[in-house]
Amino acid sequence: MGEMRIRALSTPGEYEQVVHIQKAVWGFSDIDLTPAHHFDISVKTGAIMIGAFMGEDLAGYVYSFPARYKNHWIQHSRQLGVLPRFRGRDIGKKLKWAQRRDALAKGYKMITWTVEPLLSLNAHLNFHTLGVVTRTYLADYYKAAPALSMAAGVPVDRLYLEWHLHSSRVVQREKGLFSTEGMEAAAALEGSCIANPGFPGAPDFSLTEEKILIEIPKGIKRNSRQPSFVLAWQGAVRRTMEKYFAGGYWIVDFFLREDRCFFVLRRPQKGEWDGI
């Protein structure tokens, strides 16, 4: 299969391959695909498009564009996709680190993106491996995009992720040094700081601990055939996150333990994330 190479994409032929990957990764119908000519014009006007090649094959890509957030210019990352047969070989995270390097070289301090809150694999990649943080829950965010829903009739909720490119949590992770916040929280798992333990019942909104955990189910996939199960979890997670974000907590980590998985929340220290 050959060596993996990561480099910027820049030709119409490469953007056509990206469209094919989009279709294979997300299973979109044609009307939901971003076309090659859109990638072409947006890269010409400041977007970042990076591909990962295994031998001659384009195995995956990451795409972001310039955007505004809280009065700052940032890159907003719209798509990260790796073809199923190439997954689990570090391609996804290498693409994200390459995206960070390119954004830094262009003078950006932050990359943002949105993620479905109930996907544990993505949460692990984003919070644990890459070191993103979030303080923002976007309920029913893409009203007219059923293709992005987890299951038929389930609203499309998103977390708005902030990747503070210069922060020590991100710099450390690029060197492979992971925070112990998740592990410490895991050790405290038997304690009383889980806001919504087990299958969604009534979440506890009264916790005041320094670290609070919010549970999500392990292994829900897109296109779930159990909309009522997804809806029940979504409702509990949404209300719990909205409540604790309003109280000043941020999600700072994520961990799996046996068959359960948890977001870790705490309040930031003063000025901890660059003042954006």
Ligand X SMILES: CC(C)(COP(=O)(O)OP(=O)(O)OC[C@H]1O[C@@H](n2cnc3c(N)ncnc32)[C@H](O)[C@@H]1OP(=O)(O)O)[C@@H](O)C(=O)NCCC(=O)NCCS
Q: Per-residue x/- marks for ligand X, 18-57, CB under 6 A?
A: -------x--------------------------------
Q: Which ranges in the chain belong to alpha helices (H)? A: 12-26, 36-44, 91-105, 120-123, 168-174, 181-187, 227-246
How far apart (Å, rounded) are the C-alpha atoms in residues 116 and 99? 21
Q: Other CB atoms closer than 10 Å to residue 81's CB: what's the count?
A: 19
Among 54, 82, 98, 185, binds ligand X (CB under 6 A): 82
Asked whether the beta carbons of 185 and 127 are under 8 A apart, the reply is no
Can residue 93 be called a binding residue for ligand X (CB under 6 A)?
Answer: yes
Contacts with 119 (C-beta within 8 Å, 6 or more apart), sequence order: 220, 221, 222
Q: Which CB, 4 or 231, lies closer to ligand X?
A: 4
How far apart (Å, rounded) are the C-alpha atoms in residues 134 and 251? 5
Contacts with 233 (C-beta within 8 Å, 6 or more apart), sequence order: 118, 200, 216, 217, 220
How far apart (Å, rounded) are the C-alpha atoms in residues 224 and 182? 28
Can residue 267 be called a binding residue for ligand X (CB under 6 A)?
Answer: no
Can residue 218 be called a binding residue for ligand X (CB under 6 A)?
Answer: no
- The amino acid occupying position 131 is G
Q: Which stretch binds ligand X (CB under 6 A): 116-124, 146-154, 182-190, 235-243?
A: 116-124
Helix axes 36-44, 12-26, angle to 10 degrees: 120
**Strand, helix or coil for residue 270:** coil
How far apart (Å, rounded) are the C-alpha atoms in residues 127 and 85? 24
Can residue 90 be called a binding residue for ligand X (CB under 6 A)?
Answer: yes
Chain residue whose CB lies nearest ligand X: 92
Q: For ligand X, how many residues bind (rule: CB under 6 A)?
A: 18
Closest alpha carbon to 59 in 92, 16, 97: 92
Q: From the CB of 258, what's the least distance to ligand X, in Å?
A: 14
Can residue 121 be called a binding residue for ligand X (CB under 6 A)?
Answer: yes
Can residue 101 be called a binding residue for ligand X (CB under 6 A)?
Answer: no
Can residue 224 be called a binding residue for ligand X (CB under 6 A)?
Answer: no
Residues 61-80 that bind ligand X (CB under 6 A): 80
Among 49, 50, 125, 213, binds ligand X (CB under 6 A): 125
Can residue 115 be called a binding residue for ligand X (CB under 6 A)?
Answer: yes
Among 6, 15, 58, 92, binds ligand X (CB under 6 A): 92
Q: Which CB, 131 or 203, lies closer to ligand X?
A: 131
Q: Which CB, 93 or 267, lies closer to ligand X?
A: 93
Q: Which CB, 94 or 267, lies closer to ligand X?
A: 94
What is the binding site for ligand X (CB under 6 A)?
Answer: 25, 80-82, 87-93, 115, 121-122, 124-126, 129
